[in-house]
Each structure stands twice: as C-alpha cells, then as structure tokens.
Amino acid sequence: MRDPIAIIGLAARLPDARNIEDFWANLVAGRDSIHRLTDEQLAATGEDPQLLAHHRYVRARPLLDDVWHFDHRYFGMSEREALLRNPQHRLFLELCSTALQHAGQAPDDDVQIGVYGTCASDRYAEDHIRAHPGLMPLVGETGLMLGNNADYLATFVSHRLGLTGPGITVRTACSSSLVAVHLACQGLRLGDCDAAVVGGVEIEMPYGRGYKHVRGGIESADGRCRPLDAEASGTVFGSGGGVVVLKRLEDALADGDTVHAVIRGSAVNNDGADKATFTSPSAGGQQRVIAEALAAAGVDAADLDYVELHGTATQVGDPVEVQALAEAMRCMTDRALPAQDCVIGSVKSNIGHLGPAAGIAGLIKTVLALRHEQIPPTVNFRSPNPLLNLDESPFRVADRLLPWPRGGAGAPRRAGVSSFGFGGTNAHVVLEEAPEMPACGEPRWEDDELLVWSAHDDTALAQLRSSFADTLADAGDTLPDVAFTAQVGRTALPVRAALRVSSAEEAAALLADPAGRVTTCSDGVVRQPVLLFPPLETAGQRYAPRLAERLPGYAEAWRECAKHLPDRPGPDATSEREPRTATVTGFAAQYALAKALTGLLPEASRVSGTGSGTITASVVAGTLDLADAVRMLEEGTSPPPPPTSPSPSPLWVLCAPGSTGADTAHPTGPVVTALARTGPEDDWRALLDTLAAVWAAGGTVDWFALPRPRRTSRVAVPTYPYQRQEFYVPAFTSAEVERHAAARG
C-alpha cells in the first residue's frame, strides 16, 4: 500500500450550490439542478432563432449563479485584468483560495503547495474578446494567450496565491480532474510538495444556451440525466467546479488538520486500441485501472461499500462501466461478492456532466457522503437499464438516501470514484473515511482566547463578523481550535478586527451585538511595532506571573536579570519581590516583557526609550550589555543616548507592564500600552489585548509562538465573503462584428 493522502479542504461552486454545504443539501434532497431554460432566456444569450425552432432543440443546461462575477480586489487584480481574464481561470483561482481557507492553510513561504488543475477549452478568448471590436489592440496576442490559454491555469493560481510547489495543468478530457488528483498524490509522495490544491472547472460556452439533440449522440434527448436508468438517453453538459486540498496523512495528523477523507490509492491508464473507436469506452481499460487502484490502495474489492461511477447516462457507456467494475472487483478479491451489496450512483444525475471537472465533482460528493455517513440518491432513477444485469451483479443503485454503516468488525467505510475521458485516459481513486483524530487532552489552563479576522473593506469585515457569530453559536468547546485556525489559517488583510473572549457563547453574543467590544482598525496601514520603554521609575511596573508560567522567554529573562542584580536571589528566582527597588523592578519587568514580545512580534526589531528607559532599550537593542546595565542602575549613571531606529509607519508598543502609561510622553503615532492592567491575575488577558491591538493596527504577530492551553486543531471557520462584481465582455456574432467594422469605415 502506498502512503495514504489526506483530504483536508474542500470547495465547490456547482449548479444551485454556492458552496459545499449547499451541494450536500441538494444531494440529500435528491435535487435535479439541470435548469430548464425559457425562450426569453435563450434569446438573451443570442441563441439562433432557427435553432430554437428546431424540434430536437433541448432547452436545458446546468448553470452557475453569477458566473461572470469576481472579486478582483481580493486577488490584487485590476478591473481591466479581471475583465480580460478567462472566467474559468477566475473561478479556479477563487475555488483554490476558498479550499485553502477551508483547510486552514494560509500560503507560507516555508510550505511548498502545489497546484494541479484543469479547465475546458477556451472559447471566451475567441467569442468574447477577439470578436469584440476595439479590444484586441489593447490586449494583444500575447495578452490574450496568457489570460485565457488553459496552459496557464495552474501557474496563474500559483502566482496569485504565492504557491511555490509544482503548477501543473492537466488535459485528458473528461477524466482530467481525477487524473490531477492522482498526479498530486504522486507529487506528495515524492516530496515535490507538502500540500496540493487540486481540481477543475468548466464554464460551458456559449453560456446559458441549450443544444440540439443528435440521435445516437452523447447528449440527452430531453435535458434529463438518468444514469443507470432504462430511460437514459445521454448526459447534459454544464458549468461548475471543485477543488480539494491534499496532504500526506502523517503530516495532516501531526499538524492537527481536519481530515475529511483519505485517499488510499489511485491509478491512471489508457484504453489503447482496445475499443471500437477513439471515443468509445473500453471495458478492458476501465477494469484494469480499477484493479490497479485497488492494488495500490491495498484494499480488498469486497470491502468497497460504494462506487461513484463516471455514469454518463448513455445506453452504451453505463453497461460497459458496470461490467468493467464487476470484473475488476471479482479479480481483486478472494471472497464471494454478495449480490447487490455494493451501492453505485452518479452525481451527473444531479448536476450534469462538468467535462474536465466531472471527476472532482464525484470525488467531493463521495467525500461528503463519507463524512456524513449517508449515500445520496441518484436522481431520475426509476428502473435499471436491463443491459446492466444488476440482479446478477454485486451492485444496487442508490435510489434513495441511504444510511452508510461501517462494515463487519467495525471496518472503515470505503468507496471508489471513477472518471473516464474521451480518448481513453481512465482514472480511479479509492477513498476511506477519516481516521479518529488524536485526543486534545486536558487543558493546562483555563483562560481567554483571541479571535481575529480581516478583510479588504468594512463591508466584508462585517460579513465575516456575522459569519463567525453563527459559527461560534454552535462551537461548544472548540473555541481554542476556532481561534487558532483564524489566526494561522488566514492571510492577514488590511482591514482588521480582534476580540478577546472566554467562551464560544460569549464570542457569539459579542459578535452578534453591534456594540460588542471589538478592537478594529480600518485605515489599512501596515505598521511595524517599535518597543518603547518609559522611565524605569514609572509607577506600577511589575513582575507578571502568568507570563512567566506560559512564556519561557519571559521567565528566562527575569532569571537572567536576577543573576546580575543586588541581593541576587539566585538563578531560579522569579519572585516579584526581587530585586527590591522600583527602578530595578522596572528594568527587570521591561526587559522580561520585551523578550516575551519580541518572540511574538517578529517585526519588533526597533526600540526606543525615554529617560532611564533608554537603559532597557539599549540592552534590548544589543548596544548595552546586561551586566553594564546593572552597574549603571547600581551607580545611578546617566543612561546612554537612545538607540535610533526610524520606521516609516511605527506602531509604538509601550513596555510598562502594569502601568497605564498615562504619565509617559508618547511619540507621534498610534501607541499600544503592553499589559495595561493593575493585577497579576490579568497578565494573560492583558497580553492578548496587547496582541489584539498590535495586530488590528497593522502589525504582524507570530501566532505559532503563542502558547496554547491544549493541542489545537485546524477546523472549518468562515471563509472570505468575496465582494464580487460583474466582469463580462459580451459575445459578438459575426454579423455584429461586420456591422462594427463597416461603421468604422
């Protein structure tokens, strides 16, 4: 068996489904999302009136909501670039970003994330841009190619999201996205990447039109897709897409990722010449690829509970596929296969055929079924195609929503997913339900958590706030996981907000209340923290016991001071009673806090001080030895000149623990008073407030360095509410192009 691969993130935009939650609800409800089109809708797309009048014209197509809409600002694109970028590229980029968010994986220079994707052939460039009068001189041939050619689909995503693993576009027709999954698994096992975003999209062009049914062709006679049914007459091609995030299972478990399902094995092959025509299905090719996938997975065919078929709903294709599956399963087990024990189905009955994205749609459906322990119905199924011979096979069709119990002796749920392409490239993936996650353990302490979120504008920030309120209303004891994922699993954007809370219930209430105490900053300025040390005599500066317990850097710095100070209490002393003088206590408190903050604020390399606080500033800056600083404190020597550390956009962090900072002269610019509390029991909450203020004001926080009360996991938290607007170049007919050319003379 090859190393298993974890599926840790999902995203989809499919007919009647803006996200995976909508998709699952539609599957459970047995919803047919192939849209029936009116003549008015079809006329608005520019459909040929003569074609509309044909008796075999079928007014049906699976469609997406807001297919031309895109949030260019989120992805750092100009309006012009968004307008000229192929909509399939835009959709794939958005899905990859959403899937990474769902997985809690922010792009990181230290993590190699690969992109493996596919899309349909490009017609937007030809029908919408090249045909549009006046656009080509602005775009140019190179610009048209780079913005629309499928070759640049994956690398476009890599560039926009800052992903440094392989960027590979796959083109094997209908099997492309499942082949991409297989290649990504290989890349992960070979070490080409640490994680991968994988999937495919199709926007059927011309968009929103029906089709003319051809007798004996692959497309449905009536606009219904009926896989495995006696009345099946073909498929219906449509629009949609999906993406999954993959990681080696061992790494996913170690990193605390949520594992939705596991890829045990996969295989890819080609039919070769073993078929009647180039586009005909081959039972031999399909049988071999399924057997190879089961062998790679180390799974006995008798342990498969469900198989998601390619299922094109053709009278020839479905029987060939079921025959191949039965033969593959019989040759991959030594056990008798009980009659009608393995369930089969096809998502094409719900959403039609998404071309190169068909395989990823079937994979996501099966992952959701494993997660929810239910097998959705294959809609439009009434009675089986007699050529399937189901009575003599191991299979039964999921004609209703079915529970999915585990097998005998608690065997894990397992499934297969098939995808076969015109031209003969076949793919099969063997899935298994997610393993039990390691226990979080008892928390080492009970204290507040810090929730953060950010956006490009106030509107999106408010929508995220509302989404977090809904999420946390049902979060139970997972607040530490939600807080951790929101901190480390998102790229920080300019408009920010933070909230310190003690429970999920409190968080939900405060987020739902417009007057709830939330630290926000919407000026979008990226600021660099500068540690500011006030005079050592500033009242209230003291030892912080909670920080000493939880931050090794703080405790070590205090002990280091104690070694060099008068009446030194020894290397293990951490009592706030030593050293005794207010000045010495102020120095030790400032120095220990600075050491703690520099471990949490990676960009806090600049320092400044006023009065005797320049002694601490000089020690932290490395221009004054700690022993020399102690001597100056003992002798009352004048402090050195303050270190000069200019910053174009400073955020002053006042290091005066326990002080309000009211008696300190502040520089121009925003100031955060670190640990502005009066009692030692508030130390940790005060630190969280400090981090909230720094982060909200545009500073960088190393969230991985923040101690956690228990082992935390990455969980699903609200994804970004894209602020989409329409970017669409209308298609021009040849007659319209000629009219415009004549008008220009």
Which pLDDT score, from 0 to 100, does residue 676 have?
Answer: 63
Average pLDDT, the chain: 91
Higher confidence at residue 46 or residue 14?
A: 14
Which pLDDT score, from 0 to 100, does residue 573 have?
Answer: 44
How large is the average pLDDT for residues 49-76?
Answer: 97
Q: Tell me which DSSP letter residue 126 carries.
A: I
pLDDT digits (tens, 9 = 90+) for 171-210: 999 999 999 999 999 999 999 999 999 999 999 999 999 9
Query: Strands of 650-655's sheet, edge to edge?
Result: 606-609, 528-533, 650-655, 671-674
pLDDT at 49 over 90: yes
CA 426 to CA 133: how far, in whole Å? Answer: 42
CA 39 to CA 49: how far, in whole Å? Answer: 9
Closest CA relative to residue 420, chosen from 430, 428, 431: 428
pLDDT digits (tens, 9 = 90+) for 303-359: 999 999 999 999 999 999 999 999 999 999 999 998 899 999 999 999 999 999 999
In the chain, pLDDT over 70 holds for what percent of residues?
A: 92
List domains and CATH numbers for the chain.
Answer: 5-264+276-433 (3.40.47.10), 451-520 (3.30.70.3290), 528-697 (3.40.366)
494 neighbors 697 (Cβ within 8 angstroms): no
499: helix, strand or coil: strand
CA 672 to CA 126: how far, in whole Å? Answer: 56
Amino acid at 557: A
pLDDT digits (tens, 9 = 90+) for 700-734: 999 999 999 899 999 999 999 999 999 999 886 55
656: helix, strand or coil: coil
3-state secondary structure string, 286-340? HHHHHHHHHHHHCCCHHHCCEEECCCCCCCCHHHHHHHHHHHHHHHCCCCCCCCC
684: helix, strand or coil: helix
Which pLDDT score, from 0 to 100, does residue 576 have?
Answer: 44
Ranges 215-219, 389-393, 717-721, most confident: 717-721
- Confidence band of 577 (pLDDT split at 50, 70, 90): very low
| CA angle (24 as vertex; 21, 28 as ends), nearest 5 | 140
Angle between helices 582-600 and 613-621 in degrees, nearest 10 = 40
List the beta strands (DSSP E) in 493-562.
495-501, 519-521, 528-533
pLDDT at 586 over 90: no
Angle between helices 358-372 and 176-190 in degrees, nearest 10 = 70
CA 692 to CA 687: how far, in whole Å? Answer: 9
How large is the average pLDDT for residues 392-403?
Answer: 96
CA 114 to CA 243: how far, in whole Å? Answer: 13
pLDDT at 491 over 50: yes
Q: What is the pTM of this model?
A: 0.93
CA 261 to CA 255: how far, in whole Å? Answer: 16
Which pLDDT score, from 0 to 100, does residue 40 have?
Answer: 95
| C-alpha torsion 558→564→569→574, nearest 10 | 0
Which pLDDT score, from 0 to 100, does residue 523 have?
Answer: 80
